[in-house]
Amino acid sequence: HKTKWATYGYGYLNAIPPHHPALIEMYRAYNNSDWVWAPYYSIHKQLAGLIDIATYMDDKSIADKALLIAKDMGLWVWNRMHYRTYVKKDGTQEEHRTHPGNRYEMWNMYIAGEVGGMGESLARLSEMVSAPEEKARLIEASNCFDSPAFYEPLSKNIDDIRNRHANQHIPMIIGALRSYLSNNDTFYYHVSHNFWNLIQGRYRYSTGGVGNGEMFRQPYTQIVSMAMNGVSEGESHSNPHINETCCAYNLLKLTKDLNCFNPDDARYMDYYERTLYNQIIGSLHPEHYQTTYQYAVGLNASKPWGNETPQSTCCGGTGSENHVKYQEATYFVSDNTLWVALYMPTTLHWEEKNITLQQECLWPAKSSTIKVTAGEARFAMKLRVPYWATDGFDVKLNGISIATHYQPCSYAVIPTRQWKENDIVEITMPFTKHIDYGPDKLPTEIASKDGHQLETAWVGTLMYGPFAMTATDITNWTEATLNIDSRLASITVVEPN
């Protein structure tokens, strides 16, 4: 705080009044007479920005200043957490709250306990400082944003995701994984890995997004949740705006980080592609700057554009970042292996190998060409075979196919070889049609609300390659019903010129 640092502590820099960290220590709820609005969520946004400046800014004097400010902010957090907070797990909620500062309760509170990516940013910051005492304090501060009530079931692969505020908890999981890099405690890896696996199938929609409004609902209920959103709150028709864009952003961040630990598991980048194509890219208005807060999923749905200052939501800020980094998860490398995880026009400068590769394709890509444009190096190349590439996928190296069969949701391997300028890899991947069914059936009492009697039925999304297809002028489930054969041969795809 600029004028009262002696009162609030040196290093407090926040857009929220400085008494709010004290209010959350006293378990004040969000949006009541003594309201508190997630002070650490706001601190995180500034802290993360400063860390990015320190990491990416070419001007060293500016980068050093950003790191100094970030370090002071981080040490302020450590000072407050170390001396004013603790963890008590046993007993009732009333017993937990006998004394202020129990983090078990603080981080388990709806929105007031939303801390954004504090755990992740403090762990990153600990990797950037050299003084052992400061490093240790920042690691400790990072772990102070653990949520035991949320983490401990997940570490045992128990689903405690349901009915939680989605974007309050997904960044916590990103922080847990980053903590694993700092403290080497496998507990944190299991929390992150198990969470990601539970999201798949139990909570995600065909677009890759999650949530009903801002909340996780019951698992395996995506279809009913989509069909009934808002009705129980008094709306006459289902509200189709249900997948928060910030959740998609953070799930992709988690997915990219998990992929670094196991880059041969193609499920990670299959999911990344699904969500990037079907929610993130579609969240930007095609003509002027507007982004989506919630996304459109369901009958008669249209995108709710918004996020114009001063009415912007968190997804407005995140939305600015989303659309300048489509390419950031295209390639992954180890000492002697290159993984091609996404197919899009990009250039890779692999500094450690002193080699440059250029990928050329239309986007979205049904085929792609990767060419060595400079340098020479020895390494293996692995190319993702998407889960939907069930017919016609092929990889050619300098005109010769490398295999006769490719397993969808895997990586095709070009063994270690000496790569040189003008070597060319050609990837062919025709889009195929399939249906991505939801995990639950649409009950007849919901499907028949328009007066047309329909039987309880499975509901799915028609997919073309990685894309969730949409239809126009569909206002009820009767109109959404299709009679199709199992091979989808009766569905014709007409592509734009």
- Mean pLDDT in residue range 120-127: 96
- Mean pLDDT in residue range 416-421: 98
Say if residue 478's pLDDT is above 60.
yes
Closest CA to 193 of 265, 291, 137, 281: 265
Say if residue 6's pLDDT is above 60.
no
Domain boundary (392, 410, 428) is at 428
Residue 487 placed within a domain? no
Q: How far apart are CA 309 and CA 137, in angstroms?
A: 37
Residues 416 and 446 in one domain: no
Closest CA to 218 of 240, 191, 244, 198: 198
Query: Which has the higher per-residue pLDDT, 411 or 225?
Result: 411
pLDDT band at 3 (very low <50, low <70, confident <90, very high): low
Q: Is the dihedral of CA 397, 343, 341, 355 positive or negative?
A: positive
Domain boundary (303, 322, 341) is at 322
Residues 23 and 59 in one domain: yes
Residues 301 and 203 in one domain: yes
Beta-bridge partner residues of 365: none
Residues 392 and 461 in one domain: no
pLDDT of residue 313: 77
Asked if 338 contacts 381 with a C-beta cutoff of 8 angstroms, the reply is: yes
Percent above pLDDT 90 for the chain: 67
Residues 225 and 348 in one domain: no
Closest CA to 184 of 114, 123, 238, 233: 123
Q: Give residues with Cβ within 8 angstroms of 156, minimum separation 6.
A: none
Where do the H-state alpha helices sit in 237-341? 245-261, 267-275, 314-322
pLDDT of residue 34: 65
Q: Tell me, what CATH number does 185's domain have?
A: 1.50.10
pLDDT of residue 208: 96
User: Which of helix, strand or coil describes residue 265?
Assistant: coil
Query: Which has the higher per-residue pLDDT, 31 or 131?
Result: 131
Residues 424 and 441 in one domain: no
pLDDT of residue 202: 95
pLDDT of residue 367: 97
- Mean pLDDT in residue range 357-372: 96
Residue 496 placed within a domain? no
Say if residue 459's pLDDT is above 50.
yes
Lowest-confidence segment of 212-216, 387-391, 408-412 by average pLDDT:
212-216
Asked if 383 contacts 395 with a C-beta cutoff of 8 angstroms, the reply is: yes
DSSP summary character for residue 364: S
Residue 109 placed within a domain? yes
pLDDT of residue 117: 94
Residues 294 and 363 in one domain: no
Percent above pLDDT 70 for the chain: 95
pLDDT of residue 5: 53
Residues 401 and 442 in one domain: no
- Mean pLDDT in residue range 406-414: 98
Say if residue 371's pLDDT is above 80.
yes
Residue 441 placed within a domain? yes
pLDDT of residue 370: 98
Residue 488 placed within a domain? no
Say if residue 485's pLDDT is above 60.
yes
pLDDT tens digits, one per residue of 144-162: 999 999 999 999 999 999 9
pLDDT tens digits, one per residue of 63-103: 999 999 999 999 999 999 999 999 999 999 999 999 999 99
Exposed e or buried b per residue across 387-398, where buried means at least 16 C-beta atoms within 10 angstroms of its C-beta: bbbeeebbbebe
Q: What is the tally of structural domains in the chain? A: 3
Residue 485 placed within a domain? no
Where do the H-state alpha helices sit in 38-113? 39-56, 60-84, 93-96, 103-106
Asked if 64 contacts 51 with a C-beta cutoff of 8 angstroms, the reply is: no
Residues 308 and 411 in one domain: no
Q: Which domain holds residue 410?
A: 331-428
pLDDT of residue 421: 97
pLDDT tens digits, one per residue of 193-240: 999 999 998 999 999 999 988 899 899 999 988 888 767 666 667 777
pLDDT of residue 1: 46
Q: How far apart are CA 192 and CA 467, in angstroms?
A: 27
Asked if 211 contacts 242 with a C-beta cutoff of 8 angstroms, the reply is: yes
Residue 444 placed within a domain? yes
Residue 343 placed within a domain? yes
- Mean pLDDT in residue range 438-450: 86
Lowest-confidence segment of 2-11, 341-350, 460-469 by average pLDDT:
2-11
- Mean pLDDT in residue range 412-419: 98
Residues 183 and 212 in one domain: yes
Mean residue pLDDT of the chain comes to: 91
Residues 233 and 286 in one domain: yes
What residue type is assigned to position 39 of the chain? P
Say if residue 42's pLDDT is above 50.
yes
Say if residue 21's pLDDT is above 60.
yes
Query: Which contacts qualify for 477-486: CB closer than 8 Å, 24 or more apart?
Result: 477/227, 477/299, 477/442, 477/446, 477/447, 477/448, 477/450, 477/452, 478/450, 478/452, 478/454, 480/299, 481/454, 481/457
Domain boundary (322, 351, 386) is at 322
Query: Which has the higher per-residue pLDDT, 372 or 240?
Result: 372
pLDDT of residue 4: 59
Closest CA to 164 of 154, 156, 178, 175: 154
Residue the block writes with tokens 């025709």: 430
Residues 316 and 351 in one domain: no
